Amino acid sequence: MAKPTKTSVFKAQSPNAETPLDKTTRVVRKMVEEEAEQRQAKNDRLRKARLEREANTPTKPSR
């Protein structure tokens, strides 16, 4: 009887091929993350503009 070796007992399994569902999920998640980053950048830009506008607007003296 042949003596089992480490390579014959624990064979490396090749990674499973990406299924169409996995590919769709990966692409959609990437799209959602990119949209969230764009939305956050827009919100930051608008917030900064609003704060600058409020800081530069003179306040009317109250009577």
What is the Cα–Cα distance from 43 to 36, expressed in whole angstroms?
10
Q: Domain segments of the chain: what residues? A: 22-56
Q: Tokens 């969230």 sit at which residue?
A: 36
| Rounded Cα gap, residues 63 and 61, in angstroms | 7
pTM: 0.59
The 10s digit of each residue's pLDDT in 8-63 is 666 667 678 899 999 999 999 999 999 999 999 999 999 999 999 999 988 777 66
Q: Say what the pLDDT of residue 6 is.
A: 64
